Structure 1
Amino acid sequence: MTEAVRVTGTAGVQQPVRVDEDEPVRVHEDEPVAHDPHPLTQHVQRLVQRVRAVDRRRPLVWDLLVTGFFVTAGLVDFAGGGWRNVAHNTGVPGRLVLVLTLGLTVPLLWRRRRPMAALAVMVLFGTVNGGTGAMLQVALVQLIVLFNIALRLPLRTLGRAGALMLVPLVVGTVRYPRGSWDQQIVPQVWAYALIALLGIAVRSRQDYTQALVERAHRLEVERDQQAQLAAAAERTRIAREMHDIIGHNLSVITGLADGGRYAAAKSPEHAAKALDAIGSTSRQALAELRRLLDVLRDDVPEAAALTPQPSLTDLDRLLDGVRSAGLPVRTAFRGRAVPLPQGQQLTVYRVVQEALTNTLKHGGPGATAAVDIAYADDGVTVTVTDTGRGGPPARDGSTPDPDAFRSGRGLTGMQERTSLYAGTLEAGPRPLPATGWQVRLHLPKISASPAPTAPEETAR
């Protein structure tokens, strides 16, 4: 059974991928394969996460529980007399043993907030513990504080903590020697070193995990930003295409409708031709708009026919439509045609289309236009001029403000298209005494497949 699965690719575009259930899925050798962890591992991870969650939410409660546990264990050892089984001096007074037990366990409450102060207090009582020969086993609680120091404080502080913990050990060994000194000191030193290394290992693991989390968060933010930029660029491109398609065709339709209204009274035949041209232009605009909107659909058939974007070969059809709307247009091609990529051809087409559309909108009656396309070794230069009023008419009938024309979406779209190919675009009123508007586009030469050729020098 074959199933179509959509995979999100570049810029969020979904691409269908065929997956056959009867065939095994092949994984690239370099790609890591995720395996489900062992159930026992999952259980331990969940338990550790719950303990850490409680610790993060209520650290004081957790510190009280840990401290209370060891205080209770020490008091049970004191009350039951179990400490005498390992003591070097069983004649230590009971009150002193009780004080030592509390002094070695209660400072655990501050092991995270003030670990060095807590360790100093415990070392003080530990020195008395070793000097009196009580040798309470609860003194091993100092290792928990040592672990917290290795986990949270700098290494130089860890070195001072290790040196501090050697004081009770040396005092007990000197006061009550049992065998050689290395049999009493070396095992304890190894225990201290192992606890310190364990704290360093856990700290390194936490730092590594935190770095991975920060990197993943940063990559996620960058991915979202790239997706937003891609979406904004796509929206801009679609808006630019819709403006060029709808704006031009509506301008042509407006010109045809105005001409047909005047011709209806005098020449019904010309009015009928104008209506036919309006219908043809409307259908063409609708077809282009539907093709553009189909790009946004997710359920586009795989075998759907793809219509190419307009190119230089479509200029004649564009100019014929403008002429039918009542704007005389003269064209001229100069030089030997330079091969242009499809994107540059579309840019030339849209710039000519937008310039002529602006002439239809703002040129006024009696305006004419000229399109000059000059090929050279360094690229192509397109110049579109008209003899109209050069901008939208002012309310008081004075000379139009060029900035008002320059602020429209059409010129912005032309500038965006030009910048994609490192070209230059100049638009503004023609120098006096000439009237009208001029748009000049230059696109540098880029190697591409051969473009439609034009005569070396022709004029229409």
Structure 2
Amino acid sequence: MTTEETPHTTEPTRPTSPTGLSRHVQRLLARLRAFDARRPWAWDTTVTLLWTTAALVDASGGWRNIARDPTVPVWLVVTLSLAFALPLYWRRRHPMAVLAVMACAAMVSDVSGAFLQAGYLQMIPLFHLALTRPPLALVWALALILPPLVTGAVRHPQESWDQRVVPTLWAYALVALLGIAVRSRKDYTAGLVDRARRLEIERDQEVRLAAAAERTRIAREMHDIIGHNLSVITGLADGGRYAATKNPERAAQALDAIGTTSREALGELRRLLGVLRDDEAEAARAPQPTLADLNTLITGVRKAGLPVRFDVHDEPTAQPLLAGAQLTVYRVVQEALTNTLKHAGAGAQARVLLTFTPKDVRVEITDTGKAAAGLDQGQGQGQGLTGMRERAALYDGTLETGPLPTGGWRVMLRLPREDSPS
């Protein structure tokens, strides 16, 4: 006869819920620790009364079961029991003094032959010594604990002395090691908490610094975009107004250029603001301007009415610039020509000289207009100069600005190449 076996399936073991008994126990212990921190006297009084009661119960007659001399007076036994138990109230604040008092009581107990079990209460202040005091304190604790043990073993040699001394010392050593372990655990936990707190502070500081740097970068980009395009539009509008009475065709061209420049500025602003929106899943991201866009930039400035001469000196051994450095050169030229449009006055001319060498790239922008003194001191339009200096500093570059001896203004940017020393 054949029997069919039913396949046995084992259900996966579910993880233990974090809201079980252990969590309630941890909460209870946390509440007890918090209560003890607020009212330490309550816990000290409770522990002292508990052990005092136990010591007095033993003093009522149980001490004779292990005593070497059962004829010790009862009043002495009671006194020694109280000497062992009552000092526990100060065990956390003065553990060494409490242990010294207990050691004196232990000496009397062992010499008299009572050998009270309350003497083992010395383990409690010993634990607090290991928990809160330097390691040297344990050496002094041994000097207090050892003499009563040796004296009792020598005075009442009913058994070999090592059977009395060695096991007790091992017990005390285990208590001291327990205190050291708890102390190490507390120090480790406190170190983790302190490290987490410092990491949280550093994270908040990094977030604030990153936000400030991003705000500065955005402000610099918007200043370059809006400032330049508005300056070009202003120049075109002024030119179109003068041309409207004499040459309507030139006025129409100026209006077309104004429309084109405005649309380009709006497009750049939309892309910039689109990246900043949190709800924009796929913001439009266009490539940043490069050196190849300088001709377009200068053409727009020329349409605004500023004659610009653009020269490039390129050595064959010079390597191409990084994209970020090219953006820096573009923005510096843009800002310098914008300042010329604003401040150079009528009849001014500008020149852009771009020089490539194996060690660096240099761009010099000069104009023949009147020097705007406020720019040099950071007044008025000086924020543009600050932005240029910040861009240059990102690539370990230098920016020099100032009036020319023959009149006009000069902006000189130098960017070292990545493979050349600073």
Normalising by structure 1, report the TM-score. Answer: 0.82
Superposition deviation, residue 148 in structure 1: 0.7
Please name the residue that 1:161 is paired with.
141
Q: Quote the Cα distance in structure 1 between the aligned partners of 2:73 and 2:49.
A: 24
SS in 1 for 2:309: strand
Is residue 348 of structure 2 the alignment partner of residue 374 of structure 1? no
Please name the residue that 1:309 is paired with.
288
1:430 to 376, 385, 404: 404
Is residue 73 of structure 2 the alignment partner of residue 93 of structure 1? yes
2:184 to 200, 204, 212: 204
Is residue 338 of structure 2 the alignment partner of residue 354 of structure 1? no
1:365 to 346, 350, 359: 346
Q: Quote the Cα distance in structure 1 between the aligned partners of 2:336 and 2:409.
A: 9
Superposition deviation, residue 171 in structure 1: 2.7
Superposition deviation, residue 94 in structure 1: 2.6
Is residue 32 of structure 2 the alignment partner of residue 58 of structure 1? no
Q: Quote the Cα distance in structure 2 between the aligned partners of 1:171 and 1:404.
A: 88
- Counterpart amino acid of 2:32? V
SS in 1 for 2:415: strand
Is residue 325 of structure 2 the alignment partner of residue 344 of structure 1? yes
Please name the residue that 1:18 is paired with.
none
1:216 to 177, 183, 196: 196
Q: Quote the Cα distance in structure 2 between the aligned partners of 1:295 and 1:248.
A: 21
Superposition deviation, residue 35 in structure 1: 9.7
Superposition deviation, residue 404 in structure 1: 4.6
Task: Name which of structure 1's ranges 224-233 and 187-196 shifts more when overlaid on structure 2.
Answer: 224-233
Superposition deviation, residue 150 in structure 1: 1.1
Please name the residue that 1:443 is paired with.
415
Please name the residue that 1:27 is paired with.
none
Please name the residue that 1:178 is paired with.
158
- Counterpart amino acid of 2:343? H
Q: Quote the Cα distance in structure 2 between the aligned partners of 1:416 and 1:248.
A: 18
CA RMSD of aligned residues (A): 2.4
Q: Quote the Cα distance in structure 1 between the aligned partners of 2:376 and 2:78.
A: 95
**Any stretches of 5+ residues in structure 2 without a counterpart?**
1-14
Taking only the aligned residue pairs, the percentage that are identical comes to: 61
Please name the residue that 2:9 is paired with.
none
Normalising by structure 2, report the TM-score. Answer: 0.88
Q: Which has the higher contact order (CA 8 A, sep 6+)?
A: 1
1:413 to 369, 387, 395: 387
Superposition deviation, residue 142 in structure 1: 0.8
Is residue 269 of structure 2 the alignment partner of residue 289 of structure 1? yes
Q: Quote the Cα distance in structure 1 between the aligned partners of 2:149 and 2:47.
A: 25
Distance 1:181 1:402, change over 3 A: closer
Q: Quote the Cα distance in structure 2 between the aligned partners of 1:405 and 1:427.
A: 14
- Counterpart amino acid of 1:332? D
- Counterpart amino acid of 1:162? L
Contact preservation (8 Å) 1:385, 1:436 = yes
Superposition deviation, residue 406 in structure 1: 8.8
Contact preservation (8 Å) 1:368, 1:386 = yes
- Counterpart amino acid of 1:126? A
Superposition deviation, residue 58 in structure 1: 2.2
**Any stretches of 5+ residues in structure 1 without a counterpart?**
1-33, 393-399, 448-460
SS in 2 for 1:340: coil
Distance 1:205 1:329, change over 3 A: same
Please name the residue that 1:151 is paired with.
131
Task: Name which of structure 1's ranges 420-429 and 337-346 shifts more when overlaid on structure 2.
Answer: 337-346
Contact preservation (8 Å) 1:162, 1:192 = no
Please name the residue that 2:3 is paired with.
none
Contact preservation (8 Å) 2:271, 2:284 = no
| Structure with greater helix share of residues | 2
Equivalences for residues 110-125 of structure 1 within 5 A? 110-125=90-105
Please name the residue that 1:240 is paired with.
220
SS in 2 for 1:295: helix
Q: How many residues align?
A: 403
Superposition deviation, residue 260 in structure 1: 2.6
Superposition deviation, residue 327 in structure 1: 1.1
Q: Map Cα deviations across residues 146-190 of structure 1 (whole Å, 9 max, x no partner).
A: 111111112221011112112222232233222211111111111
Is residue 228 of structure 2 the alignment partner of residue 254 of structure 1? no
Distance 1:50 1:413, change over 3 A: same
1:230 to 196, 210, 227: 210
Contact preservation (8 Å) 1:391, 1:404 = no
